[in-house]
Structure 1
Amino acid sequence: MHFKKTGLCLATILSSTFFQIQASEFDDYLQSKQIIDQNFKIKQPETLNEILTVLTAEDSRTLPIEIDNNTIIEQFNLYADRTELKGLIITPDFEQFEQDLSVKEVQKVIKKNVVQNCNIFFEHQYQRHNPYIVKLQLSSEKNSYDLELKQKDCGIK
């Protein structure tokens, strides 16, 4: 289904490396600057947010991005405690899919596909060891779908 690919592609926008069991290079950098401790707990949330604001601004220069001819990501923001994504569902047959299912069922299918990509959404250890959520807002021609992906949805905490 298109949503599997869409979820994967949405997640890859957030970073350039995939899930690692060990600390990512970004985690290592944050530790070296004492922004997070050796257990990946955030010590300086304001400083982390400043860094993430710069990264968001840099990465936003490539937006909007069309993904798999199904989704356009228009905006994303990174914070110490969350990631926020906003985009459009542009799949040609999505309107029929929405007609066949209720809004709640469509949202459930989208979330199921997003959950399959948890390792990408929670790529960095600081995202896994501190309270962290991913907020997604995807809009079709008819509806808007607001999803919240929590660590517990991914079996992290």
Structure 2
Amino acid sequence: MDRSAPGPGARSPARPAPPRGEVLRAVDDLQGAAADLGWAEATGLADGLVDALSHLLVDLADGSSSPTPQPLVVGAIGGPARPVDHASCRAAAAALRRVAPVLDAGPPWGAEAARVALELADLFDRVADDGRSGRVPPGHKGVVLRRLHGLQRRLQALG
């Protein structure tokens, strides 16, 4: 066993970026990821995060050494609450989990983007679980919004 080889999760500065075709397939995969969390503000923020991750994948495909700055997204405010779309939350979570390794295989900023993608996937799964009665309980809405805003701040800090 070669003890000089980096362990799992260690990043090599000379590590090549993933193939462009693989990255572009990941972008296509995320394009269909649209989780409906049941209320406009959270759904808008979630869409903005998925869009930002897609833009980071495009930056990766273009070989950018740093991510392109993205605008801050504010979710729509108001509107009646709707039932959580469990299928869209699960599908978006699965897409985020598929693209996270592609982000992680890129430059150093990709590792943080991959962590954000995985945390967003976990949040979508949690919303789908919490909303089994049809809607996210009122006490959980604030937690979900805080997590979405926190993930957005982390992506903003990359560029």
Superposition TM-score, scaled by structure 1 size: 0.28
Which one has the bigger helix percentage?
2
Superposition TM-score, scaled by structure 2 size: 0.28
Which one has the bigger strand percentage?
1
